[in-house]
């Protein structure tokens, strides 16, 4: 019985390592903005991420099968600072305000494994 338990524990550990390896590889391929979104979900207990009406490419996190997406019905606005190059070639920060169009959360299994990875290993990819 002890050997059976040890075998099952070893199998679970191996499966977890394989899942984490696949997860880290996928996260490695993400942009820095997508990684920041993932960290937002982890740090805010999968609280909805509010975003404006942007058409993301198919492979982008917020347009992937990792998230649930729905239209936002509230009246909250988002302010974002963006660096703009002016006519003189100088970079200046400008703040823009947008209406929220969508809200996103991670699907529960993705959230749980990301949270586990962050708490256990302090990272969500090979390079963090």
pLDDT tier, 20 (very low <50, low <70, confident <90, very high otherwise) = very high
Taking the CA atoms of 3, 1, 120 and 113 in sequence, report the sign of the dihedral they define.
positive
pLDDT tier, 68 (very low <50, low <70, confident <90, very high otherwise) = very high
C-alpha 29/C-alpha 32 separation (Å) is: 9
What three-state secondary structure class fits 63? helix
Q: Quick one: pLDDT at residue 17?
A: 92
- For residues 91 and 111, which has the higher predicted lDDT (pLDDT)? 111
Q: Report residue 55 as tokens.
A: 């058409």
Instruction: Give me the mean pLDDT over the 28-40 stretch.
Output: 95
Q: Which helix or strand (DSSP H or E) is residue 81 part of?
A: strand 77-85
pLDDT tier, 71 (very low <50, low <70, confident <90, very high otherwise) = very high
**Is the Cβ–Cβ distance between 106 and 27 less than 8 Å?**
no
- Contacts with 100 (C-beta within 8 Å, 6 or more apart), sequence order: 50, 51, 52, 72, 74, 76, 77, 78
How confident is the prediction for the chain on average, in pLDDT? Answer: 91
pTM of the full structure: 0.81
Bridge partners of residue 17, in order along the sequence? none
C-alpha 64/C-alpha 66 separation (Å) is: 5
């Amino acid at each position: 019985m002890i050997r059976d338990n040890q075998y099952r524990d070893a199998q679970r550990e191996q499966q977890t390592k394989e899942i984490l390896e696949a997860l880290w590889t996928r996260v490695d391929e993400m942009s820095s903005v997508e990684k920041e979104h993932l960290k937002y979900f982890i740090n805010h207990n999968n609280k909805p991420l509010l975003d404006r009406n942007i058409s993301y490419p198919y492979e982008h996190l917020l347009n992937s099968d990792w998230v649930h997406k729905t239209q936002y019905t509230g009246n909250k606005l988002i302010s974002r600072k963006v660096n703009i190059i002016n006519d003189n070639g100088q970079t200046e920060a400008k703040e823009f305000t947008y209406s929220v169009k969508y809200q996103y959360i991670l699907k529960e299994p993705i959230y749980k494994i990301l949270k586990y990875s962050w708490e256990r290993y302090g990272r969500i990819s090979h390079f963090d």
